[in-house]
Structure 1
Amino acid sequence: MRRYLLLLIPILSLTSGAGQAGNAAAERLAEAVRFKTISYQDRSRIDYSEFLRFHDFLKSHYPRVFTELDVETVSNYSLLILWPGSDPQLTPVMFTAHMDVVPIEPGTETDWDYPAFEGVIDNGRIYGRGTLDDKQGLLSLMEAAESLLEEGFTPRRTVLFAFGHDEEISGLHGAVNLAARIKERGLQSAWMIDEGGFLIADSPLLPGRPLGLVSVAEKGYLTVTLSTRGEGGHSSRPPATGTIGRLSAALERVENSPYPPRLVGPVQAMFETIAPHTDQPQRFIFENLWLTGGLLASQLAEDPVTSSFVRTTAALTMFNAGVKENVIPQYAEAKINFRLLPGDTADTVVARITDIVDDPLVDISYDAWSDPSPVSDHTGDGFAVISEAVAEVYPEAIVVPSLLVATTDSRHYVDVSDNQYRFHGNRLSMEQVNSMHGTNEFLDVESYEDMISIARQMLKKGTR
């Protein structure tokens, strides 16, 4: 059974084909890359004029959207666009994306095949920061809306577009205020679609059939700070246990006590949905998770690629202590970043870590970014719209629910949307996954064309 269970890893690792044709839409995405809408953790470094220039670019290339629809700027740089439906009795739907991108890691600039903000198209690929996260998502929606407006399309159901400007640094000024403005206007969406899902081509588990992963939930985000104080002084007279040693021992206990693996609802639903399309013995495994679920979770937990789908993870990310090599530090601090499975919360994680550390001299504090999101209904209308839209472009595709191990702006819209789905219809390869937030980020032109087609279908089918 282990051999077949390990076939799951490529599902989450991804392989795909690439398109070669170029078109005007690809050129517009390449141009969008050239705007350095970079979100730095230190907000004083952000050049907000780039966001305003990006707004001008959008107005120039999508004139019908900006003249025929209700466009509002929120928090100076985010955009809220309302496309009124012909039937005001129908509950609206919402599509979201973000215009900001992460910085280029200093020292890696020359590792790019093409400069990260030049927006080069070569060999059927669009290169540059934002081609995967998330200007391709924003522009594919604008391409779809503009073309539908040109065709005279009028939705029966009102559509909201919410485009934040600071998703990469938590969305506290963008998505948070967009959601507040939506609430002020008395609007509520039946469902929303954000980034966080994609298509996989030629999965080893489903040879020759694209696999669409729609994230119906995302993990929570929590950073715990461990700190300790102790006797300092000259390094020639060290104490029996210094602050670094004490804190290191606490961190070792945490790292050696991983959460036990378990299958949560979205991951279980993914395997159950795949099951009818697989051969034995995989089909038996996936159809009988009441019997095989524990073994499946344990096998997935053995590989770093899939472990995050079945356990709350802890990553030791920062350690600070000392000011000079011959001075014993009186204070040491470390940070642990947790990504929480549904069912875990900041409070339960901190309680568990407190028990594991078991040292009254180590202080534990935390800054909870977000608990795990609610799990959206994978049998609901929004999921069905995504499935139908994908089928129009990829008739042979299988669309399944999944769990997003990262975080998105969608968590900020929970109060104004009944269900949150995370999916943009682009195909990704492993090379592309590694380039997200990394080096040589790119998108295949053909994939982008198909992504726009899927966005058109979602707008048409989602507003019936």
Structure 2
Amino acid sequence: LFGLQFLRLVTLMNLSSAAEVTLVFPTVFSSHLVQHEVVANYSHLFWVPGSDLALVPYMLLAHIDVVPADENDGWEVPPFSAKEIDGFIYGRGTIDNKQSVMGILQALEYLLIRGYSPQRGFFIGLGHDEEVGGLQGAMNIVRVLKKKGVQLAFILDEGLAVLDGVISGLQGPAALIGISEKGQATVKLSVFKAPGHSSMPPRESSIGILAGAVKRLEDNPMPILFGEGPERRTFEHLAHRFGLPIKFVMSNMWLFSPLIVMERSPDTNAFLRTTTAVTMFNSGVKVNVLPSLAEAYVNLRIHPAQTVEEVLEFIQSTVGDERVKMELVNGFDPLPVSSYDETSFGFQTIKKTLLDQFPQVTVAPGVCIGNTDSRHYTDLAKDIYRFAPTWIRPGDTQRFHGINERISKKNYEELVVFYFNLIQNCDIKELPSPHSAGHEL
């Protein structure tokens, strides 16, 4: 109950000071087992040493910050009110990503109250600027850990979730554990022409030329690369949960490729290719003045089988107009693919924890189509996973960075139980058996 009250509290403010966190998790901050430091003024780094120094530590990540929200956009309640309606807590951050912040700390609080002392040490990193790239929070946490010479068995961050009724034709819920994430690039397109009076317009304006370039990009999406990255394994793992004839198709994707169906939905189209989204278009200062400059910004999420350089070449050839200048604002290639076979300690331990708690769920590897703080940690761990047991049902995907973001009280409790069990499951030296019982909370 206290954890639920504080989940409401953290939707009202950006949890930043150690004093605020200390009030809610007194055992975490008073325990001799837990070492804590504030990084870059607002991020938090915790270290819980293990009793067995031979066991390589792991790390749990989450982020405190949120994207803006305006109640005038159509929220049912003010977006920072944390109001409860029909068993759901509404508020910005409830599923991105304060549910993990609270779930991790609440689980640790409960474990310490019970006298728990881990065998395998672990870190907790709570970044404060993930939504703007993590350049201060995550990157400074990484610098601190590098100075200490830390190497990690695996990292678990936000990313994918439990999808229930979201994938068309799939029978039952599926938990997708992100083993990689797409790359990203922001490209600026610009056209410059001499300004003039609107009463004497040229045949083509700077806005018209740029609009044509943007239309060509939208009419000619990046090529389908399904099967050339780890996303193919996602559907092979899920094949048995589809009905016929989709089950047969999914089980024999070397012969069949259900791409036409997948292209129709933005949710599944993102698995097939590098996506192209025109997000900003700027030009003009007055209704009777022909603007000299027109600019558009294009955000691309890069498929694991492509690179930033290949994407830029595709844009250049598709635009096909020398008058349109292209500039790479920023970008990075897709992240390495983490292990997910039967010998992968991190993946199998997360999977075991999931199946013990949700035996009805099918677990599969997946590709995270968004980006997380974990991309800054690649020097510290070979295996990075992106998952939280947040249940996503039809309509919920629009709540991420959208209106009426919410989490059910039941799901928040499930998050606490998941981290409570995961921390204990990581204490073993050998890979877990697949169906042993979970820990009682």
**Do they fold alike, i.e. is TM over 0.5?**
yes
Residue 79 (structure 1) aligned with residue 57 (structure 2) = no
**Alignment partners' CA distance in 2, 1:248 and 1:456:** 52
CA contact (8 A) 2:165 2:394 kept: no
Shift of 1:388: 0.7
Corresponding residue for residue 274 of structure 1 = 238
RMSD over aligned Cα, in angstroms?
Answer: 1.8
Q: 2:334 aligns with which of 369, 372, 377?
A: 372
Shift of 1:422: 0.9
Any idea what the Cα deviations from partners look like across 1:164-195, whole Å, max 9, x if unmatched? 00011111111111111111111011111111
Corresponding residue for residue 294 of structure 2 = 332
> For residue 246 of structure 2, what is the amino acid of its counterpart?
Q
TM-score computed with the length of structure 2 as normaliser:
0.91
Shift of 1:433: 2.5
**Alignment partners' CA distance in 2, 1:234 and 1:202:** 55
Shift of 1:135: 0.8
CA contact (8 A) 2:225 2:303 kept: no
**Alignment partners' CA distance in 1, 2:6 and 2:153:** 31
Distance 1:113 1:240, change over 3 A: closer
* Map 1:176-191 → 2, pairs under 5 A: 176-191=139-154
Residue 462 (structure 1) aligned with residue 426 (structure 2) = yes
> For residue 360 of structure 2, what is the amino acid of its counterpart?
E
Runs of 4+ more than 6 Å apart:
none
Any idea what the Cα deviations from partners look like across 1:7-66, whole Å, max 9, x if unmatched? xxxxxxxxxxxxxxxx3322221122121x2xxxxxxxxxxxx622xx323211212222
Shift of 1:429: 2.1
Residue 135 (structure 1) aligned with residue 98 (structure 2) = yes
Residue 28 (structure 1) aligned with residue 1 (structure 2) = no
Residue 146 (structure 1) aligned with residue 124 (structure 2) = no
Shift of 1:122: 3.5
CA contact (8 A) 1:392 1:457 kept: no
* Map 1:284-433 → 2, pairs under 5 A: 284-292=248-256, 295-379=257-341, 380-433=344-397
Q: Point out the more displaced range, 430-439 or 168-177.
A: 430-439
Any idea what the Cα deviations from partners look like across 1:387-438, whole Å, max 9, x if unmatched? 1111221122211111211111111111112111111112222233222222
Corresponding residue for residue 262 of structure 1 = 225
Q: How many residues align?
A: 422
Q: Point out the more displaced range, 428-437 or 370-379.
A: 428-437
Q: Point out the more displaced range, 440-449 or 115-124.
A: 115-124
**Alignment partners' CA distance in 2, 1:363 and 1:265:** 31
**Alignment partners' CA distance in 2, 1:369 and 1:146:** 39
CA contact (8 A) 1:425 1:455 kept: no
Any idea what the Cα deviations from partners look like across 1:326-369, whole Å, max 9, x if unmatched? 11112211111111110212211111111122222221101223
CA contact (8 A) 2:391 2:411 kept: yes
Query: Which structure carries more helix by proportion?
Result: 1
Percent pairwise identity: 36
**Alignment partners' CA distance in 1, 2:262 and 2:75:** 33
Residue 94 (structure 1) aligned with residue 56 (structure 2) = no
CA contact (8 A) 1:97 1:164 kept: yes
**Alignment partners' CA distance in 2, 1:176 and 1:256:** 38
Q: 1:200 aligns with which of 163, 169, 177?
A: 163
Q: Secondary structure at the match of 2:378?
A: helix
**Alignment partners' CA distance in 1, 2:110 and 2:300:** 42
**Alignment partners' CA distance in 2, 1:202 and 1:327:** 51
Q: Secondary structure at the match of 2:153?
A: coil
> For residue 414 of structure 2, what is the amino acid of its counterpart?
D
Corresponding residue for residue 155 of structure 1 = 118
Q: Point out the more displaced range, 303-312 or 431-440.
A: 431-440
> For residue 360 of structure 1, what is the amino acid of its counterpart?
E
Any idea what the Cα deviations from partners look like across 1:371-398, whole Å, max 9, x if unmatched? 2111111222111111111122112221
Distance 1:231 1:454, change over 3 A: same
